[in-house]
Amino acid sequence: MSEQALRELAAAIDHTLLKPEATREHIRKLCREAREYGFAAVCVNPLWVAEARAELRETNVAVASVVGFPLGATTPEAKLFEARQALEQGATELDVVVSLGLLKGGEDEAFRHELSRLVAAALASGAKVKAILETCLLTEEEKVRAAKLSVEAGVHYLKTSTGFGGGGATVDDVALLRKLSPPHVGVKASGGIRTFAQARAMLAAGATRLGTSSGVAIMEEARKWYGRA
């Protein structure tokens, strides 16, 4: 039972390295760890997509690339170019930072249209899109509207945070996004998840993916916990 639980936990983790100072060797290490533990995906900056794809070609680990990271405030055309390039280099998941200025300014159609174009590009390559909502910067009404518009645009996951916006995932935000999402849309908790207890809490609240740079530490802590159970 404990081994199954560990496999299920690993299969929910996006093993993440988005620090600007990450080197090629850091990315290779990230991929080796993802293979070893059986993580769902690695999440890397666009510069390293091809490297990660080469390292993980014979595995079931997905390669996720961020788009418009970390502010989401570049042009829709720039985001689309960045997404298409990542897809061409082997990304199968795109973690897209939404345009918060459009959302907060009430430009709902422009917000939805930008995401719709990115979803269409991803689907043409058999890839999936996660919309990063940066919930720490949103009011409750804005969280609801962002989730609704993102789902209407066809995204595959609602994601809480970049981890660079001054706040991370909370249990309440994960539960809210789960409530607002239809069954076919996943919820990714990301930002500040560093312990097994935090991971369990996010999953219990309805997360289906966990974005964390502490995947190895979480797995080792979980292994010890299940060993005592």
Residue among 79, 95, 130, 173 flagged as catalytic: 95
Residue among 128, 130, 143, 188 flagged as catalytic: 188
Among residues 162, 154, 214, 220, which one has the least CA distance to residue 188? Answer: 162
Residue among 79, 130, 143, 159 flagged as catalytic: 159
Judge whether 159 counts as a catalytic residue: yes
Judge whether 95 counts as a catalytic residue: yes
- Please give the positions annotated as active site: 95, 159, 188
